[in-house]
Structure 1
Amino acid sequence: MSLVMPRSTALPDPDYDSAFYDGVPAKRLFAWLVDVIVITLTTLILGLITLTALLWIWPLVYLGVSFLYRWTTISAWSATLGMRLMNLQLRGPTGGILAGGEAAAHTALYLFFSASMILQIISAGSIALSRRHHGLHDLVLGTAALNRPG
């Protein structure tokens, strides 16, 4: 008898549709690096535009820019620019692309889990080792990063 209830999902099965999950952990890492660079450059440009005033509160600006960047790009394309570059797309438990509210929840949970080094390590381990390469935020929401179909 299993203690964990199986979660019903319309996401592709990794055993039957493995092409959706091929190389996803490495692609997610490279996508994350691209996104961090975009966010960092954006915050530095904002700091320069404001004659370094925003650099005094750089962590808050970085958090705000990160949330807005991730939320708007995931709402628009169900992927950040880094994910698009790596040919990845986020899908919800129904198998569809993420809507604005789902993108906001995904982003908020990602940033919450990223605030703790221990949770980041657990999330990275989960991405590397789980069948659907879920991060902690993906596990909570039932989402997955897939190779973009088509």
Structure 2
Amino acid sequence: MADERDRIGVAYDVKPHMYDPATNPELFDGVPARRVLAFLIDLVILAIPLILVWLFFFAIGIVTLGFGFGLFSLMPVITLIWAAYYYGTTLGGPQSATIGMRALDIQMRTWYGAPSYFVLAVVHAGLFWLTTSLLTPLILLVCFFNTRGRLLHDVLIGTVVINNPDRARPPRPVGPEPGIV
């Protein structure tokens, strides 16, 4: 008797969740609060170059007696490209964390433990902005109703934000090691 995979002609392995908050609570301790602070840091990092571009376009508009103000129509495209590049290279980089996330010792992983990659990072950021825009920022309250603290866009694409290994490592006891006098 053939098993189910042979009948449909597709072989696949369903991977279990790598991160369990019941067995590893240190991975999830304080993540939602630090995630908010990391977002604010990243927002500032994203905004600074865009403000400089805006000021440059404004100066060009003044110098060209108003003709350069048409460059402002490029700002939405520049913003999207810059945000995709920032999230893709940082969140999709070797540390699987944006600069703000690195500052606060958190990282993003797939639900089965793999590090993030460029396309996943860009889709993750895009889904975040899309869900918070369409469903109001109240959708961010989803993290308080699941044990892993995942947001809607995390659930949709199969990611989880955890403490990095240095932060999640259990603290060592203070004092002499047992058995050493």
TM-score by length of 2: 0.69
Same amino acid, percent of matched pairs: 27
Distance (whole Å) between structure 1 residues aligned to residue 106 and residue 120 of structure 2: 17
Distance (whole Å) between structure 1 residues aligned to residue 41 and residue 161 of structure 2: 16
Q: Deviations over 1:6-51 (max 9, x none)?
A: x953331011100000001100000000011111112112223443
Which has the bigger relative contact order, CA under 8 A and spacing at least 6? 1
Is there any run of 5+ residues in structure 1 with no aligned partner, and where? 1-6
Q: Deviations over 1:65-112 (max 9, x none)?
A: 222211111111211111111100001022111122222322222232
1:137 aligns with 2:153: yes
Asked which structure has the greater CA Rg, the reply is: 2
Of 90, 97, 107 in structure 2, the residue corresponding to residue 79 of structure 1 is 97
Aligned length: 142
| Contact 1:70/1:80 (8 A) holds in 2 | yes
TM-score by length of 1: 0.82
Which range moves more in the overlay, 99-108 or 80-89? 99-108
What SS class does the counterpart of residue 165 from structure 2 fall into? coil
Of 54, 60, 71 in structure 2, the residue corresponding to residue 47 of structure 1 is 54
What SS class does the counterpart of residue 115 from structure 1 fall into? helix
| Contact 1:11/1:91 (8 A) holds in 2 | no
Is there any run of 5+ residues in structure 2 with no aligned partner, and where? 1-13, 61-68, 167-181
The structure-2 alpha-carbon separation of the partners of 1:67 and 1:128, relative to structure 1 and needing over 3 Å to count, comes to farther
Distance (whole Å) between structure 2 residues aligned to residue 45 and residue 21 of structure 1: 37
1:17 aligns with 2:34: no
Q: Quote how far apart the aligned CAs of 1:57 are.
A: 4.8
- C-alpha root-mean-square deviation of aligned residues, in Å? 2.2
